[in-house]
Amino acid sequence: MWKRDDAVKPAPPGGGPAAAGTGQSAQNNLNTSPAPEAVRSSDQARGMEKGPVNIGKSVVIKGELTGSEDLTIEGHVEGKIELRQNVLTIGPNGRIKAQVFAKSVVNLGEETGNVTASEKVDLRDNGSVDGDIAAPRVAIAEGAHFRGSIDMQRAGAKPGEAPKAAEGAKPAAPAAAPPPAQQTAPAPATAGPR
């Protein structure tokens, strides 16, 4: 009883059980301290959180996707993607039908919708964009497909602000308005099969 507070304290660094005291105290420590294996696995989990986040091929997300870490999409995303300070990579299997706002976008897959990046849009070989790009730097590789407008003047474009067409232009056909959110997936997103 009188040692209960000590018993719930976190385990000392190293993950080993606290020094065994008398009878009940030792028993409490054994019951509440994480086992070395458990500690190791939680460290691994923490390590995964810090690593790149990947939305796998089989994952379909409809709605708004926001986050504050780099993200790679190999699955399907429809709606809106906001990674204000981070890099979005659309993998070769990625299929995006969304408005995208990010620091940088690297596209090796298919994107339909407007892309706004505060630093750079990199459209790689076999990558495809149908929509408007607003970014201070745009790189388009040989073999990439693009249809839409490119505006490099809006340096430091604020994410969240959609690129405008020419003054008084009719609404651009490829602009994908976000559908009502059916599923919100806050980053870190579910990892699918790679």
Partner 1 sequence: MSISDLLKFGNKRPDEPEPGAGSDAPAPKGPEPVIPSKALEKFINALKHNEAPVLIDFGPVIGTNVAFFGEHLGCKLYIEDLATEIDKHTRDKSRAALAETLAKRFTMADASVDGVLCWDIFDFLEHPAAKAVAREVVRVLRPGGAVMGFFCTKPIDRAPFTKYEIVEASSSLRHRHHPGTGGPKFVLQNRDIIKMFDGISVSESFLLKSNTREILLRRRA
CB 38 within 8 A of CB 16: no
Choose the binding region for partner 1 from 48-56, 88-96, 110-118, 168-176 (rule: CB under 8 A).
168-176
Binders of partner 1 in range 115-144 (CB under 8 A): 137-142, 144
User: Which residue type does 13 have?
Assistant: P
Task: Determine the 3-state secondary structure of 5 from DSSP.
Answer: helix
Between 19 and 169, name the residue whose CB sits nearer to partner 1: 169
- CA pair distance 67, 82, nearest whole angstrom: 7
Choose the binding region for partner 1 from 57-65, 105-113, 145-153, 179-187 (rule: CB under 8 A).
145-153
Choose the binding region for partner 1 from 25-33, 37-45, 56-64, 148-156 (rule: CB under 8 A).
148-156
- CA pair distance 53, 120, nearest whole angstrom: 20
How many residues of this chain bind partner 1 (CB under 8 A)? 25
Binders of partner 1 in range 60-119 (CB under 8 A): none
Nearest in space to 73 (alpha carbons), one of 110, 25, 101: 110
Q: Does 148 bind partner 1 (CB under 8 A)?
A: yes
Q: Does 156 bind partner 1 (CB under 8 A)?
A: no
For 131, half-sphere exposure in the C-beta direction (CA atoms, 13 angstrom radius) is 25
Q: Does 162 bind partner 1 (CB under 8 A)?
A: no
Choose the binding region for partner 1 from 48-56, 94-102, 163-171, 178-186 (rule: CB under 8 A).
163-171
First-to-last C-alpha distance (Å) of the chain: 50
